[in-house]
Amino acid sequence: MGRCTQRPAPPRPYIAFVVNQASNTLTAVNLGTLRIVNSAAVPAQPVQVLARPATRELWILSQSGVISIMTPGLETAATIHIGSSAASLAMTADGRLAAAYDSSAGLIDLVNCDARSITARTRAGTGVSALAFTPDGQSLIASDAAHDRLMVIDAKNGQIVGTIGVGKDPGPIALLSDGSKLFVADTREPKISAVDLASRQVLSNIELAAAPGALLLKPDGGELIALGRDAATLTILDTFHDDVETEMPAGINPRAAVATRDSARLYVSNSGDGSVEAIDLQNRVVLASTRAGIAPGALALTPDERYLAVTDPANSSLAILGTNPMNPKLKIKSSPPPMITTLPLVTTIPVGARPVDVVIPDWIGVP
């Protein structure tokens, strides 16, 4: 008698929300049916979408200078005008405060998310490249690429309370969950600066094989992933000792990365060769490399980690990849782990012109 096998449960109807920069739209894709369920116009040149924590609000940043606040049904609940331009939308972990940068005016706007109003403005100059709040929400850190420094800003009143000199052209920032330390990518040299926030001193300059681009702190906080900027490398760093653990080859021009909640798996999009890689972080092994379009960019995992959504600005689509057999609960018994050549490409969905960001909130049954 044949052994019965249990069919996998049907996909849960999570919604992937995608911003399309060239068509000025926000598109909702139901990941249970793998179909577009809604699309709405947003202000010109949208570049970023965030799901505000503890709410069902979507915050969309447009380079034309507007933050749009939308419902899961893609109705516009409010708009906040930042200026003639806007970039680098950041939000506190509790969703009470946000910040965005108007490069035309050289101002950082602090926004009360409940009141949907600007509460303070910081005159930061025209070189800000990244923003990040400290975990307690008390301070905002701004990378000032024009002056090779970080600015520490009081999140209550917008006052600059300190500066920290770092490497050339500081960009993306990653902060430890206890707020004790941050790491900043010095994007014009092969280096990451580790900074003690209490003393506002650089603890170390961590040398890399290539200039860093995107940074990703693993959920457990023990390691930092740095993607080589315009290169084909990936670096894993020890956040306690501030040193390089491993340099790994990656695809051409790794653009974005996302890790599973248990920090076991990492997925990386490589815009230079159209691939998405799956990496076993414990064993430091590339487990899969899958063609996912022309120039894959932003990534998002479904909350159950069953699907990986990948934007492709070059062909105006959203690729949906299955993570099986790369299930984060899978225990690899052999050493080295077995090679898994591909992740299954479930479907590719045309979503709009030049999709550049995607978010998948933990919402079921909407819109």
Query: Would you give per-residue pLDDT tens digits along the chain (367 residues)?
Result: 455 556 778 889 999 999 999 999 999 999 999 999 999 999 999 999 999 999 999 999 999 999 999 999 999 999 999 999 999 999 999 999 999 999 999 999 999 999 999 999 999 999 999 999 999 999 999 999 999 999 999 999 999 999 999 999 999 999 999 999 999 999 999 999 999 999 999 999 999 999 999 999 999 999 999 999 888 999 999 999 999 999 998 899 999 999 999 999 999 999 999 999 999 999 999 999 999 999 999 999 999 999 999 999 999 999 999 997 544 444 444 445 455 578 899 999 999 999 999 999 999 866 6
- Calculate the dihedral angle through the C-alpha atoms of 338, 342, 347, 353, rounding to the nearest 10 degrees: 130
DSSP 327: -
Nearest to 326, CA basis, from 269, 287, 285, 286: 287
Q: Distance between CA atoms of 268 and 250, rounded to whole angstroms?
A: 8
Q: Distance between CA atoms of 272 and 242, rounded to whole angstroms?
A: 29
CB 25 within 8 A of CB 17: no
CB 366 within 8 A of CB 74: no
Give the other-Cβ count within 10 Å of 270's Cβ: 24
SS3 89: strand
Q: What are the structure tokens assigned to 126, written together?
A: 């025209």
Nearest to 251, CA basis, from 284, 280, 219, 279: 279
